[in-house]
Chain A
Amino acid sequence: MNYLPKSLATGFLLAFFASSSVMAATHPVTGETLADDQTFTYSLLDEFTSVDPQIVEDVSGSDIVRDLFEGLMNQDADGNLVPGVATGYTTNDAKDVYTFTLRDNAMWSDGNPVTAHDFVYAWQRLADPATTSPYSWFAEIMSLENVGAVMSGDLPTSALGVTALDNHTLEVRLTDSLPYFAAMTTHSSTFPAPEWRVRTFGNDWTKPGNIVSNGAYVLTEHIPNERSVRERNSMYWNDDATIIEKVVALVINDENVDFTRYLANELDKGTVPSGQFIRLKQDYPDEATSFPRLCNYYMTFNLSDSGPEVFKDVRVRQALAYALDRSVITEKILQAGQINAFTFTPGATAGFEVPPVAFGQMSQSDREAKAQELLADAGYGAGNPLSFEYIYNTSEGHKKIAIAAQQMWKEVLGAEVTLANQEWKTFLKTRGSQDFELARGAWCGDYNEASTFLDLLTTPSGYNDGKFSNSEVDSLMLDARTLDDASANYTRVEEILANEMPVIPVYHYAGVFMLKTNVKGWPYNNVEQNWYSRNLYKTAK
């Protein structure tokens, strides 16, 4: 597949040469006048953990890795799959063998060609127990052949289901049929790694000066907890189309300071301090942006043997879910475009149509009446009030929601709810060892497909902290893997969840940020917000 038509390439080339002359450059496609200084500066709330593709585990690190490295496939501004290092792929009927064809002009920043072997090395490295990657689980959800045995050290990494048939052909063998496998190769964990640099420098290979990368940018400066700078990589196969010359990421730990510095024009992209979106949208309508995210916020009942008896009664679980007035939480507390949730999977997920689950269709007053009825049936009332403990990880935001929920349950159901908060890792330990009654939960999708959410509530899932177990859900999710269109299964699973109510869906996340009006090319419609600096440009003011 020829990704770049010749005429367009010529246009880019012309634009590139024009930019070095005195004349103000214009955008090759839109014709807008470009700013002289094409430096894009944005903020991170926290220092990223790594820019090593197989190690990185946070969103801010992945954003950088996506600029520095390029995987088999990329996403366009709408989140659609477009060629990256691979020009395309083929798959067998069972969808468990994928063959990617790599472009022959892809280069590392030191001039070495990017080959299928670099991907084999990277994927083996991800699964290799010696790498001790906190993201090695991604290799597992990719269902690569033998991945479990390789990760536990029982088989050598060479046994992993990925082979370079030649320099430009990569074959991937899976244990399960995964129709959406190609989409997973846009994830930073699957990006190639330069074996010769990793071998020479060990853990230090990602430091500026040592690092060699195959993306549109190279890392030229990194001062921990202060800034990192990446500059245009002239060896990138499509470098002529890049407009942003330099990307600066500043670490600003406080969202209010971040916003002040955005106002002082130190940042092109900044943070919206929590709770201020509505005001900022009024004051800066073209800059304040809210977009739906692939994340849910829920409360999980402990349904394991160590869980409280009261929650074993489905009527109690339903009553609590019905009594929660989600609009108060999204519209009065959070105020940034969050969406009331009655399903576990966010509506923004690709190919997922939010099913009209019954309790989502009722009015809030009907829901509350129904909740009272259900709880009375279950034998709770004025003489025998429902009481339990809700735990959440320490944060102002979670606290507000917890207090609101406590009030709603008290007013509607007369329930006595005690609240407890725990520091993050303590909380994870408590929830993971089923030492709770009702706990806060949230999940962000690893890829844009409903199974990334619904798999969490299957019996074998390691993330199913409430230990919900339903054989029908398990088999529907298992079958979904081999179907071309699994939406019917997902709808059915959501219906079962609405009946069984193992978790209370509260809302689906929205992301907010401030972006200067002269920064163009932002992928607003990419729900995963996978952005590439090479697609951005700054116009002259």
Chain B
Amino acid sequence: MADIGHNVSLSERARRIRRNALRMGEVQGQGYIAQALGVADVLAVSYFHATSYRPEDPEWEGRDRFLLSIGHYAIALYAALIEAKIIPEDELETYGTDDSRLPMSGMAAYTPGMEITGGSLGHGLGIAVGMGLALKRKGSKSFVYNLFSDGELDEGSTWEAAMSAGSYKLDNLIGIVDVNQMQADGPSLGVMNFEPLAPKFEAFGWFVQRVDGNDIDALVTAFDAARHHAGAQPRLIICDTKMAKGVPFLEARERNHFLRVEPHEWAEALKIIDAGAVA
């Protein structure tokens, strides 16, 4: 067996997360595939480097909490939870179907490992603030991660939460913003200009890093720095990602917020992803 090394292993995790997402996308023929492919590296580092959890006990008290604020990214999180063995792989084929534990928009009551019900955007960061306060109250050393999107920067509730996290100096809260520059109505900055982003959060008292969200080494460094930062302040990792990363013919599509993929293209996409497999 080849010596795959630590970061190479994370690349392989990311590849399998992409593969799981594509297989789920194929069940419905369409979906938020581009987001899943784009955020796969962030999820690989989150679940296989940064966070503590027990696959057999998703509600283990000592776990780090990983909140998915962006409900429609559920396909991405399911792909990671399957890779993390929190959800059995054979449930892939149920994605979005009746009676499935994997609904199209993420809900806490449906899916092991899904901490909150997202989907009404702008909820996650505020819930993370409450969890961060509660964990401190309990004397817990766990972190709360909240994965949210550049689109959620439009929501006023996100900024209510951001200000309070700074005010409470919540050093157990790590925000992860997926800046993929695409919203329902088009490119994010055209929908609403949220830049300059890092200085906004810094002004709210956060320790902010901005990285290429598809560069695993950079993500590892940023997650380590976020966890070990000495300042009594919340932490934010701004991840610039590429929609549909890893499948060039899908990356090239201009409107890819909700991708429709032709039946024959799924096999083609999987072939591209599998070509990167580590033996």
A and B interact: no
List residues of chain B with CB under 8 Å of any chain A CB: none
